[in-house]
Amino acid sequence: MSAVTSSRAAPSKVVLITGCSSGIGAATALRLVKAGHTVYATARRPETLSALTEAGCRALALDVTDEGSMSRAVAAVEAEHGAVGVLINNAGYSQSGAVESVSLADARRQLDTNVFGLLRMCQLVLPGMRAQGWGKIVNISSMGGTLTFPGGGLYHASKYAVEALSDAMRFEVRGFGVDVILIQPGLIKSGFGDAVAGAIAADPGGVYTTFNAAVAKATLDAYERGPLAALGGVPDDVAAVIQRAIGARKPKARYPVTASARLLMTQRRLLPDWAWDTFLAGNFPQPKEL
């Protein structure tokens, strides 16, 4: 071992999590702080994080669509600890609706949040991780990063991008002592289904009105009442997998979470495109000319 290596200070293992106001982010922050980690929980409005600060988390304002906000949050952690040890990229949402019916403004907002925000956070923390020779980046993807449902094209595109970025970075930064880990949740009962239904695209022309409404209903049914709902999970199920992944000496590249994720990802991998389309036709109406 070289003198330089032996004199290096112990690496920072402080955790920074985006999107902690509810759901998976909140559950992960709570689980990790209870396990003894130093956790910075973030949200666009830090006043929404009071329950987490009471549990011992440190709250920061962080908007993944704002360069200044991201830079300030990372700088605040680095000023106190030298580096972000573990970055958990959780912030995101789902823009639903037939691709033609989604405005470019909404499409850009989806990718800004789910892809470019995640990418920029990785770029901001990596210099510190490289300098200390240790780090873990956990990107919250989805089973929707390996398969596509009609009416979710923009959301799925964002998660496919997360998968690709993570695969590239995993190879690129491993030699610096940094692990890149993908978490692939299936159906999680966290208000996500309601949010998806609420974010359905408007359709002024009316061609996709019935279809978009059916997508909203199918999403709510899947998360709350359908047969797959029994194969879903809760946010803490994802948090538990994240805790296990960041604690592993050699973490896996991907961690599917819930039986619904494992079932549907396997089904998509095994079915040819025509068979997958046939499966989808049994669950979604085919948009047609009026």
Residues serving a catalytic function are 21, 141, 155, 159
Q: Please list the residues that pair with 41 across neighbouring strands.
A: 17, 59
Amino acid identity, position 231: L
Provide long-range contacts, Cβ within 8 A and 24+ apart, for 71-79: 71/124, 73/16, 73/40, 73/42, 74/16, 74/121, 74/124, 74/125, 74/128, 76/40, 77/14, 77/16, 77/40, 78/128
In degrees and rounded to multiples of 5, residue 38 shows phi and psi of: -80, 120
DSSP 233: B
What is the rounded CA–CA span in Å between residue 22 and residue 42? 11
Using DSSP's 3-state secondary structure scheme, residue 250 falls into coil
The CA-based angle 222-102-280, given to 5 degrees, is 35
DSSP 188: B
